[in-house]
Structure 1
Amino acid sequence: MKGNYLGEFEELVMLTCAYLKDEAYGINIVEEIKSKLDRSVRLSAVHMTLYRLEDKKLVESHMGGSTTQRGGRRKRIFRITSAGMEMLKTTQRGRISLWNQVPELKLN
């Protein structure tokens, strides 16, 4: 995020966190973006984005419980903060405003 707006990938990661709720951790976010948007995403890019968003107080994280599937390792779960949700809403309003300015497209 530069200034007071979200980059496109930051927005995707935050939106995915918002609807995954308690299942919002690295690999789940990657898989959701891949499946919903048919977009190739690297786990490292998602992690870097999440940590940057956390530094900016737009998301927060906590350690989940360990699982046998992960060899006893714990997952870092991310959630949107109030400031993050407000940033998403502001971004949405801006995009809608721009879309509303686009004239109806007529295809021949």
Structure 2
Amino acid sequence: MKGTQIGEFEEVVLLVVGLLYPNAYGVNVRQEIESQIGRKVVLGAIHSALNRLESKGFLVSKLADETHARGGRRKRLFQITASGKKALETNRALRNELWNQIPEVAWKGLSYEGF
């Protein structure tokens, strides 16, 4: 498998693919990200991330049946693989470990204007 690291955007895309199972395809992944996170994303970025994640082995895809509503075009549906689930678990564990190491005193008297 090529490349096992995922960035923040790829993590969000993987999570949303899982959330939308079994109907995760580019357009509704984009809509769900915008709805859940409030982040505007161009469809090309979604397709690039989906293809990258598939090439890393974190997603698999298949073509759905043709539909009249789509003018006979087929959707490419995505699903998380076991490797994709493992990548998400690794990211979550690392993030939780870092959060747990921050001493409480670091949070006291926080100011958003700097030191």
Same fold (TM over 0.5): yes
Whose Rg is larger? 2
More strand by share: 1
Shift of 1:102: 2.4
The alignment covers a number of residue pairs equal to 107
Letter in 1 for 2:17: C
Give the match's secondary structure for 2:6. Answer: coil
Q: Are 2:14 and 1:18 aligned?
A: no
| Higher deviation after alignment, 3-12 or 49-58 | 3-12
The structure carrying a bigger helix percent of its residues is 1
Q: Which residue of 2 aligns with 1:50?
A: 50
Deviations 1:45-80, CA, capped at 9 Å, x for gaps: 010111111111110100011222211211000001
- Name the counterpart of 1:67: 67
Distance 2:5 2:14 in 1: 13
Residue type at the aligned position of 2:20:
L
Identical-residue share of aligned pairs (%): 47
Deviation digits for residues 17-45 of structure 1, max 9, x if unmatched? 01111111000000000000000101100
Query: What CA RMSD, in Å, does the superposition of the two structures yield over aligned residues?
Result: 1.6
> 5+ residue gaps in structure 1?
none
Letter in 1 for 2:70: R
Q: In the alignment, residue 86 of structure 1 is paired with which amino acid?
A: K
Structure 1 Cα separation of the partners of residues 55 and 30 of structure 2: 20
